[in-house]
Structure 1
Amino acid sequence: MALPPRRKRLFGLLAVLAAVAVITPLGISAASGDHADDTGTETADDTAAVTPAAEHGKLLVCGTTLCDESGNEVQLRGMSTHGLQWYSQCLNDASLDALAYDWGADIVRLSMYIQEDGYETDPEGFTQRMHDLIDEVTARGQYVIVDWHMLDPGDPTYNLERAETFFAEIAAEHGDQDNIFYEVANEPSGVEWPTIKAYHEAIIPVIRQYDDDGVILLGTPDWSSLGLSGGSDEQEVINDQVDAENIMYTFHFYAASHDEWYLDGLARAADEIPMFVTEFGTQEYTGDGPNDFAMTQRYLDLMADKGISWVNWNYSDDERSGAVFEPGTCPGGPFTGTGNLKEAGVWIRDAIRAG
């Protein structure tokens, strides 16, 4: 489709950024050539950089994982925002630069709650905020997950009409981009897989009107646990898959709460269907409490072995232990280095940078 003027300006900006960005041994720098090390000290280097989206281009589902334009398997690592209605102040030029160039994140999940003072209170305003943030992430050369963060009520069909309106607008505006993922149901709960599957079958064609091959991420039963949190297992999804191309199924875990039962279920599922861990934490399922880095590392090792892409919850200064920044960091920062990071923030930043 023809690009509207705003999008033409964006892609012109991308060309400029690709021409002038540089990289240091500690990660990709901002276009200025400056980079913050672990202490926040600015350093510089003259080596040419390649952003994740420029390196891999359009990603497609190949078997049970993602492949780039050259057919090479790709594992993405990144961060999720907190709810845009609560922590939008944590998403500004400085924090987004830090996530792209200091952390080296491949992908950003933009979490837009539907209830909880979210989208339903101002559909036009939240949709515009999502457009703007997609453009911001795209300008930094990263992939982006548009997260329809339905949570309560857990039946995704409750918000079906809202979802159809929202995803039609997002796909019409951004569907020709190579870096967009659509997560159409964050954490379904209280309903069986056939109901969730029917919702997916309704929303996929809405997106496909405008984006015929963008990867669509499908929520799974019992808070995207493949049914494991409800006493079932991954077979209910494996045995009754959605009939569509370029789709992946989502899995969420919190390492201090979700033990080997969950780890093994994810491992089995990843051998049968394409999986994407669109949310996880090193703490309890509340996103709070003590960290279990040993169990988290077991998940990270499994995901590396299976080629499962992942996104950590969350890039904000919420008081809970799962938010990476200390309270009061947003909006002023600094966001680079480790000075304002909680223990989990330091750990997950290292995990992203190690990739």
Structure 2
Amino acid sequence: MPRNTDLLALLVMPLGTACTDDPLPSMPATGGGSGSPTSFDPPSSSSTTSEQPTTTEPTTSSTTSTGDLTTGPDGSVCGDGIVGDEEQCDLGAANANTGACTLECKHASCGDGLVHEGVEQCDFGLGNDDSYDGCRPLDCQYGPRCGDGILDVEYEICDRGELNGTGVTDDEFAPCSLMCGYYGRLLFMTSQQFNGNLGGVSGADLKCRAAASAAGLPNANKYRAWISDNFQSPETRFDQWDLPGVPVILTGGLVVADDLLDLVDNGPHTGIARTEFGETLFKERVWTNTSAFGEIFSIDDHCDGWTAADGSLQARSGINALAVESGPEWDSWRAERWWTSFSVFTCSALARLYCIDDGFVLEQED
């Protein structure tokens, strides 16, 4: 047993001075590993047993996940059907991002970016607003939009609600397309007049396309002129001669014929009184040389293939419309197809062109 003087000497020994070959209990044994003192927990004040060292980083999340369930900081598990302190709701297996309680155990609410089926029509989260085609932030119902059956003149030409895209109409105007435009092949009379030198039949097509483009009409580069020379006519030139069920319409939506075959079989229902810009004109001369059936009317009366403005030459022309669509003159205009074949006109005079969309694309609903 050491003497008291020896014990005193041990108590006042400076730090780091070894009196034995054994390591101190709070230091790593030499040669026993590559750790340093900072990788160990300090000794407990209540115990001389050291904790085992850890090399994992502490988690920064307040919840942990166990399989498909999420554990909150209070130990509650989202999805176990029990509402914990950190949860707003918990329907267990019925939790869904389309239901009343989300997969995060929160009540469904307008603005959370999730669509609650049967309650909300839409939810764009922070993007909700009252603008056209938007989602209302108050109740997550659709705002003004195409298909609601209410015409929004700033964005729509027509809106028949559930009838959009069906080809069905309940008045004299064209059906509505899926995009709330009029559904049909547009037929217009040019606002500009030309003499008989049109640059041939192809030149007449180009004039129609230029007019359609200037008016911002769809398929502007697909328009063709309703005109014939001595060897070609609309019946032979049009790519979409037989396109049943697609109405022929004027700018403004008025239906001229049920389709192109109805136009040639029965004539127009109304006068072709609108230009590409929607201007209304009556009793205007139109270059055609085309019969009621879309065929060549004359092998001679076409201003030398629509290349001459010679006053000694003539071409067949039509009368576009009458201001009063009743009475004997109207009956003759319809029965005798004056719209396309009325009389000859000198090639030095000015007349207009009929232009029709020959690039119509059938709609397909998603």
> As a proportion of its length, which structure holds more strand?
1
The two structures have a TM-score, normalised by structure 2, of 0.21
Q: Tell which has more relative contact order, 1 or 2 (C-alpha 8 A, sep 6+).
A: 1
More helix by share: 1
